[in-house]
């Protein structure tokens, strides 16, 4: 699976949009981009995933560049409860033999 690069930490004011970047320049054409987050003392939580088109769900939006070498996770109105470590993961196509490799992620701190 391709490696990802994320900033170690970011700050965001409550109510503002949080834009978390991820570089995955070695991504293969059939690999998906997944985002998870881990709130302190909890297990990781799936947020969203995509292949090439932008995706949106009730939690976040995922913007993937046209060349697919980077992506941005957007939390449109960050709250204090969004403070967590966010992981960007590249994963091979849906397969029972493909797993998730977690890196160090980005620690997002949302402040009042």
Print the binding letters for residues 52-91 with another protein: x by CB under 8 A, - otherwise. -------------------------------------x-x
Of the ranges 7-15, 55-63, 70-78, 93-101, which one interacts with another protein (CB under 8 A)?
93-101
Contact 48, 97 (CB under 8 A): no
- Residue 67: Cβ-neighbour burial (10 angstroms; 0-12, 13-18, 19+): exposed
* Residue 19, token pair as written in the block: 């834009």
At 98, list the tokens: 């493909």
Q: Among 40, 53, 81, 96, which residue interacts with another protein (rule: CB under 8 A)? A: 96
> What are 1's two structure tokens?
């699976």
Q: Which of 23, 44, 55, 63 binds another protein (CB under 8 A)?
A: 44
Please work out the total of residues on this chain that contact another protein, with binding judged by CB under 8 A: 22
Q: Which two tokens stand for residue 80?
A: 């204090």
Selected binder of another protein within 2, 20, 27, 32 (CB under 8 A): 32
Residue 12 CB partners (closer than 8 Å, separation 6+):
18, 75, 78, 82, 108, 109, 110, 111
Min dist CB 40 to another protein, Å, is 11
Min dist. Cβ of residue 103 to another protein (A): 7
Q: Which residue in the block uniquely carries the two structure tokens 């995706």?
A: 55
97 part of the interface to another protein, by CB under 8 A = yes
């Amino acid at each position: 699976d391709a490696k990802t690069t994320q900033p170690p930490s970011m700050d965001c004011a409550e109510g503002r949009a949080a834009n978390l970047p991820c570089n995955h320049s070695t991504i293969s054409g059939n690999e998906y981009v997944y985002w998870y987050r881990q709130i302190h003392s909890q297990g990781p939580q799936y947020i969203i995933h995509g292949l090439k088109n932008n995706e949106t769900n009730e939690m976040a939006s995922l913007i993937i560049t046209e060349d697919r070498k980077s992506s941005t996770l957007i939390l449109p109105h960050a709250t204090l409860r969004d403070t967590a470590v966010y992981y960007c993961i590249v994963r091979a196509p849906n397969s029972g033999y493909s797993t998730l490799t977690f890196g160090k992620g980005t620690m997002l701190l949302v402040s009042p």
